Structure 1
Amino acid sequence: NLKVLLTQQRVFHSQLASSFLYQMAKPKPNSFWFFLFLFIIFLSFFHGESSEFDLDELSWLDEKDDEVNVVQSRHESLRSCDFSSGKWVYDQSYPLYDSSCPYLTTAVTCQKNGRPDSDYEKWKWKPNGCSIPRFDSLEFLGRMRRKRIMLVGDSIMKNQWESLVCLVQSVISTGRKTVTYDGPSTAFHALDFETSIEFCWAPLLVELKKGAGNKRILHLDLIEENAKYWRGVDVLVFDSAHWWTHSDQWSSWDFLMEGNNVFRKLNPMVAYEKGLITWAKWVDLNL
């Protein structure tokens, strides 16, 4: 049985948007890192570090690989905090990264596109019931050492990938970070931490294929062509919604299929539900 958690991550300088984060009701051992990331992503998205990391300063990492402790006294209040209830507050110390980050695409870099003001970058989200610690790049990378993090979905997830990479890349020296590509996946590697932050383009999650006459067929019950890129990942964050709402000439498909059933027209929300059921079954079997 799958418990579905829909978390709204606030948009801040092209970075945070709504994501579906899902977890098993009774987590298996290899789901531990998923919950660790969910905890860390809230407690640490709001603090940047300018200094590059020093291997000597982080020698403790080798001793802590198998005993990362998420529960720390200074973060106790976060465990029961409702992050969706709060307000935006102005903070002069922001932004945590700027348009000089080399991993930002031009489309989401407002100032490179001519926006003259910058005050919009100085707002942060403050929950009513707790205070979110500022993001610590080294702490995050330390907790995620030897782990693969993958964000799966559409351009919303691409924006989040760029944001997370920009938050951590400044503490890593130029020669110790790289980007690789594999099909629909892009991966940023922090080499000294053996950590990768990856994005996988799969806006509908289920399979969209070309059929007879070059027609686009969305298979509501098939997912493997996308899911094969998700295997072996320690932390998976999924998003899918926007592409399901396109209609007429903007539709992502010409036909839909479920088994041997072919649909020319289907209520988008019905199709969306069917696609998510296929995805949820995959999660249930593989995570």
Structure 2
Amino acid sequence: MRENKLLQCLLFLSMIFIFVCVVPAVKSSAFELEEDEYSWLNDEDDQANMVQSHQSSRSKCELSAGKWVYDQSYPLYDSSCPYLSTAVTCQKNGRPDSDYEKWRWKPNRCSIPRFDALKFLGKMRKKRIMLVGDSIMRNQWESLVCLVQGVVPTGRKRVTYNGPSMAFHAMDFGTSIEFSWAPLLVELNKGAANKRILHLDLIEKNAKYWRGVDVLVFDSAHWWTHSDKTSSWDYYMEGQSLFTNMNPMVAYQKGLTTWAKWVDLNLDPRKTRVIFRSMSPRHNRENGWRCYNQKKPLAYFSHQHVPEPLLVLQGVLRKMRFPVYLLDITTISAFRRDGHPSVYRRAMGQEEKQHLREYSSDCSHWCLPGVPDIWNEMLSTLL
């Protein structure tokens, strides 16, 4: 009798162990998007997605896997937005085509909601969102401000400047949308004989502007890959050691690790959300002319290529304690060689238009309205 009771107890305990320790709990990150949450948009294929099994409705949405869809209802603003830099107002600068403004990104298993400025400002009420990085992050900041500013009354919006940072304020919401210039994230300082020293293990000079921000969006890649002729520094420095040469990807990994340590030590995930936007692709082959006169996205890639900076970034993020979301825009933007300013970086007269090939072509930054608007729709969805 006692043996039977003992066996029953052991069986009961083993069942509890299997339930608690072996069967994994189903967790949902704040950044994971469920298919059934974002399949309500209004085109036919989106409505078809609403009829789905319970199993498929629980699968995650991969924002970066999908296709570009032509949509006549885009763009969401025009190039008269007063916050745009001249270099990205391609329509104002004489670009003859405008279809590049009308493509939206459609993930395979969900949809990205159309950007809603009032909804975004509601989510960001009494909060600061800061985009940190290089000129392409500035490109994205201008896009985000233009997406929002149309619903803010004149006189209730302004831009302020603080060191390397600038901020758009929607005063009725207590919201600021900020940009902070830090293309390498770590510090670039002047040394003896005016030599430029990139300190791979110093960051506080830039990071002091990031404190107290509710949502931080980072990028850093392009400056690390500049050639020797266009490099922004003369030496690398780590600790007390000075280096004239270093593999760029080794240096990038060291710089990102310094950033990661700062985030882990200084930010509280209960108060601050951190997103790292992946590398924006360039279409600079053929001496910068590969993006000239392109009018449609690429239909497909002959082979998939993951850029080395993205692999380095993924490796650093995996080792962090702080939950950082990787906003992967690299592949989706690689389709869009039609979206760059090319020669339309400035307004040109009729005489100049006859000699376009004599001017340099920008195949790195993006026309606005354009591709960065989609990045910001993805960002808004994540928030």
- Give me the TM-score of the superposition, normalised by structure 1: 0.73
Q: Given the alignment of the two structures, is residue 158 of structure 1 paired with residue 138 of structure 2, yes or no?
A: yes
Bigger strand fraction: 1
TM alignment of 1:261-280, pairs within 5 A = 261-280=241-260
CA distance in 1, matches of 2:205, 2:133: 14
Deviation per residue, 1:253-280 (Å, 9 max, x gap): 0001000111001110000000000000
Paired residue for 1:221?
201
Q: Given the alignment of the two structures, is residue 135 of structure 1 paired with residue 115 of structure 2, yes or no?
A: yes
Report deviation, 1:247: 2.1
CA distance in 2, matches of 1:100, 1:256: 42
Q: Which amino acid aligns with 1:202?
A: A
- Return closer, same or farther for 1:79/1:147 CA change in 2, 3 Å cut-off: farther
- Return closer, same or farther for 1:200/1:120 CA change in 2, 3 Å cut-off: same
Select 1:126's aligned residue among 94, 98, 106: 106
Q: Given the alignment of the two structures, is residue 171 of structure 1 paired with residue 160 of structure 2, yes or no?
A: no
Deviation per residue, 1:110-165 (Å, 9 max, x gap): 11121011111111000010122211111110011000000000011101100000
TM alignment of 1:27-176, pairs within 5 A = 80-176=60-156
CA distance in 2, matches of 1:117, 1:247: 33
- Return closer, same or farther for 1:126/1:168 CA change in 2, 3 Å cut-off: same
SS in 2 for 1:132: coil
Q: Given the alignment of the two structures, is residue 199 of structure 1 paired with residue 197 of structure 2, yes or no?
A: no
Paired residue for 1:237?
217
Q: Which amino acid aligns with 1:177?
A: K
Structure 2 alignment gaps of length 5 or more:
1-28, 42-56, 268-383
Give the share of equivalent positions with the same residue, in percent.
79
Report deviation, 1:249: 2.0
Deviation per residue, 1:199-232 (Å, 9 max, x gap): 0000000000000000000000000000000001
Report deviation, 1:239: 0.2
CA distance in 1, matches of 2:111, 2:235: 48
- Return closer, same or farther for 1:78/1:112 CA change in 2, 3 Å cut-off: farther
SS in 2 for 1:112: coil
SS in 2 for 1:111: coil
- Give me the TM-score of the superposition, normalised by structure 2: 0.55
- Return closer, same or farther for 1:78/1:285 CA change in 2, 3 Å cut-off: farther
CA distance in 2, matches of 1:213, 1:159: 34
CA distance in 2, matches of 1:141, 1:163: 15
- Return closer, same or farther for 1:78/1:93 CA change in 2, 3 Å cut-off: farther
Q: Which amino acid aligns with 2:186?
A: V
Q: Which amino acid aligns with 1:210?
A: K
SS in 1 for 2:142: helix
CA distance in 2, matches of 1:88, 1:182: 38
Structure 1 alignment gaps of length 5 or more:
1-31, 47-76
CA contact 1:78–1:132 (8 Å) conserved in 2:
no
Q: Given the alignment of the two structures, is residue 281 of structure 1 paired with residue 261 of structure 2, yes or no?
A: yes
Select 2:192's aligned residue among 194, 208, 212: 212
- Return closer, same or farther for 1:265/1:170 CA change in 2, 3 Å cut-off: same
SS in 1 for 2:109: coil
Q: Which amino acid aligns with 1:149?
A: I
Deviation per residue, 1:70-113 (Å, 9 max, x gap): xxxxxxx6982111110001111110111010011011111112
